[in-house]
Structure 1
């Protein structure tokens, strides 16, 4: 499973507006934002990596005006962390990822007064983005229209975007699934504004995104949980721990 997830990560990076192939690394960059959570690299699984490759990676990121950063499944490049720390990288997080298979998915009812919809216009996409940012407490470092364009591209390439909307048209949360790669898709951005939490909205969105991905032929949906509360939500939906990923970066 680790290998399939890592291949999915690399494939997804290759859909970014600017792609850099740096020896064994693939970097996906977006000129509309400097966010390190969008601009990062990941190694091709099983490809040998040297200290010189890491040096080239740092040079490519700094040349592009971006912070050198990687996300990857640790078992697929077991010696990479030592090379990175020797080059001045610092571990940000070590996370377990969770997976869900179609037969494990548990449907969750949508709470009364809400509907789940895929936003089909840019104003609706902007409203979903705003709800996600409010839920995460983020101060975006990009123009709102850039996030909307990224969401639209995700849908156009076969990914899923799902929002929760009240009867009067207010979007209160959302989430998305990346365009599938070899039957694998990442679920991300599951968020609900504070006043609508603890009603089952997050579980309904998570299950809805996964269900739509499975309907489109995905056989493995995966995600990472940001805390104990979200972990419990995802387990109720049908996700289970499967492997480990590393976030690591270097200050410029």
Structure 2
């Protein structure tokens, strides 16, 4: 499974507007964004990597801080090479996978509906609640909206939870995405619920809805990462199971 997940990560980064190939690495660059969570590199699984390859990778980032995300087993010797030239580990996360046979779709919590935003204004609304949930300003930049629009055009999935208690002022309570599938695999990401709507089952409902849409479109494996014990339990309840380890490492 590690190999399949890493191949999907490589395929996803290659779709970035300004993607660069540097030896055994793919840099998923997007010049419209300064976010290191969008602009990062990953190794080709199983490739032989040398110190010279790492030096070339750093140079390929130009003025951007070099940063990588990858499945650990796909390049087991890479971490030491990076640490030797000043990189520092940001996080070591376990990723989880879900298949059609393990998915459990819960009922949508009362007072909410799950929708697929389409207009720029709707995309901005979902991004705003995601930003707020992750501790950022509760607003969406034009660049973020454009990035999401491009992702949808490539086959990404976007689902939002909308509060329906006041139809005249309905607003998004949460949302999440999944990247365009590659070889039957897709990453679910950005699952977020606004602070005032938490502890109502929305995170699980959004995650399951996105995953179900992926499976209906022919995806065989959905994967994601949990940011803490609470989200871990949410994902496990809807059918996700631990499957491997990922590394986040950068040099700032």
TM-score range, shorter chain: over 0.9
Instruction: Mark the runs of 5 or more structure 2 residues left unpaired by the alignment.
Output: none
Deviation for aligned residue 1:13: 0.3
Give the TM-score normalised by structure 2: 0.96
The aligned residue for residue 213 of structure 1 is 214
Deviations 1:180-201 (A, max 9, x none): 0000000000000011100000
CA drift at 1:120: 1.0
1:5-154 to 2 correspondences below 5 Å: 5-61=5-61, 63=62, 65-139=63-137, 144-154=141-151
How far apart in 1 are the matches of 2:155 and 2:34? Answer: 25
Aligned to 2:187: 186
User: Which runs of at least 4 in structure 1 moved beyond 3 Å after TM superposition?
Assistant: none
Counterparts in 2 of 1:120 and 1:130: CA distance versus 1, 3 Å: same
What does residue 234 of structure 2 align with?
Answer: 233
Q: Deviations over 1:79-101 (max 9, x none)?
A: 00010000111000000000000
Deviations 1:147-188 (A, max 9, x none): 111111121111100001122320111000110000000000
Contact 1:96 1:224 in 2 (8 A): yes
Q: Give the Å deviation of 1:139.
A: 4.3
| RMSD (CA atoms) | 1.2
**d(CA) in 2 for partners of 1:69, 1:139:** 24
SS in 2 for 1:7: helix
- In structure 1, list runs of 5 or more residues that go unmatched: none
Task: Render the CA deviation track for 1:187-223: whole Å, top value 9, x for unaligned.
Answer: 0000000111000000000000000000000000000
Note the C-alpha offset of 1:146.
1.1
Q: 2:125, 2:140 within 8 Å by CA — same for their partners in 1?
A: no
CA drift of 1:144 comes to: 0.8
Which residue pairs with 2:205 in the alignment? 204
Q: TM-score, normalised by structure 1?
A: 0.96
How many residue pairs match? The answer is: 248
